[in-house]
Amino acid sequence: MSRHKQRWKQFRHRAIKRMAPVTGAILGGYVRGSLWWLRLWPLEVSSAGMAFWARLFGPMWPLTKVARANLKAAFPEKSPREIEKLVREVWANLGRLCAEFAHLDHIWDYDPGNPGKRGRIEIGKADFSHQLRDGRTALFFSAHTGNWEMCAIAGAEMNILDAVIYREPNNKKAAQLIEEMRKGTMPDLIRTDRDAARELIRRLGQGQHIGMLVDQYWTGGPKVKFFGRPTATNPTLAKLARHFDCPVYGWRVVRLPKGRFRVEFTEEVVMPRDAEGKIDVEGAMQAINDVIEGWVREHPAQWLWLHRRWR
């Protein structure tokens, strides 16, 4: 690199660093203003409107190239037209998610005392949530599919989850606002920082139920097959299950027509074990990813194909 280019790179780096508080404040203000605007409208109107604009403009973003490549590799039998339709629906789902986030504090309307009432929420199959409160430690996994923010709300409302792990956004203002929106509707939130492992071990040692998203690429993680392609996955859940020898369940919120949702919990997922009888970490993560792949195949437009799951 020439001296001129090196100086320019250093100058640009310093400028970006100095402007970070300003750009962060602007972005945080934009997020707050957007959520305020979306809350002015009924949930159904906000959701439909954001889906329309996301479906229209989302495919123009460079990030869409990742979604197209992922979809083509996962579904080689689909035509280019079918792939493009899926791409637009993936963006529409993301748009709806943004609108629904602004209404988190009143989106849940399921009445366990009147399960036959047709509201916004329904519980898939038989509701066996009461069986999960047997005093045992348990782990729950989910994925970026449907409305994944509502997974934590469902866990809290159904008294299944005590805490969920989440990754804090880099923008501090936006992170503060998002945490404000989530509080009061979700179980305890555990940030993925240096103290997360200690906190998880403490809570699980007390017999708590912990939930986490496990469907993103994890550098250095064990290799599993997802849609027939090798990828690295986050082994945290399997390692905790091995350490505490506890049951593992899956849970998701499926998006239904007309602004409705179905909450689904799997039966206990059987974890492969090694010669010593302990849960095999790599085998466990393969079993978990197999469940998630089944979810994605069932509703491909509801998964977040925009992230680089394969590298």
φ, ψ at 177 (rounded to 5°): -65, -45
The model's pTM: 0.86
For residue 19, what pLDDT band results from cuts at 50, 70 and 90? very low
User: Dihedral of the CA atoms 146, 195, 168, 106 (nearest 10)?
Assistant: 60
Q: Count H helices, E strands: the chain? A: 9, 9
- Is residue 162 within 8 A of residue 136, CB to CB? The reply is no
pLDDT in tens, 151-203: 999 988 888 899 999 887 666 666 676 677 677 788 888 888 888 889 999 99
Q: What is the mean pLDDT of residues 42-58?
A: 93
Residue 126 — very low, low, confident or very high, per pLDDT cuts 50/70/90? low
- Which is nearest to 199 in space by CA: 161, 240, 148? 240
Residue that has been written with the tokens 């437009």 in this structure: 301
The yes-or-no verdict on residue 12 having pLDDT over 90 is no
pLDDT digits (tens, 9 = 90+) for 75-106: 999 999 999 999 999 999 999 998 998 888 88
Other C-beta atoms closer than 10 Å to the C-beta of 68 total 17
| pLDDT given for residue 16 in this prediction | 46
For the chain, the average pLDDT equals: 86
pLDDT digits (tens, 9 = 90+) for 229-276: 999 999 999 999 999 999 999 999 999 998 899 999 898 999 999 999
Strand (E) or helix (H) holding 121: strand 121-123
Residue 17 has pLDDT above 60, yes or no: no
pLDDT number for residue 113: 73
| Euclidean distance between CA atoms 132 and 147, whole angstroms | 23
Whether 26 has a pLDDT exceeding 60, the answer reads no
SS3 call for 78: coil
Greater confidence (90 vs 115) lies with 90
pLDDT digits (tens, 9 = 90+) for 297-311: 999 999 999 999 998
Of 10-14, 60-64, 87-91, 207-211, the range with the lowest mean pLDDT is 10-14
Residue 283 · residue 178 · CB < 8 Å? no
Whether the CB-CB separation of 98 and 55 falls below 8 Å is answered with: no
For 101, phi then psi, to 5°, come to -60, -35
Kindly state the tokens that stand for 280: 């095999």
How sure is the predictor about 210, in pLDDT bands with cuts at 50, 70 and 90? very high
Residue the block writes with tokens 């100095």: 18
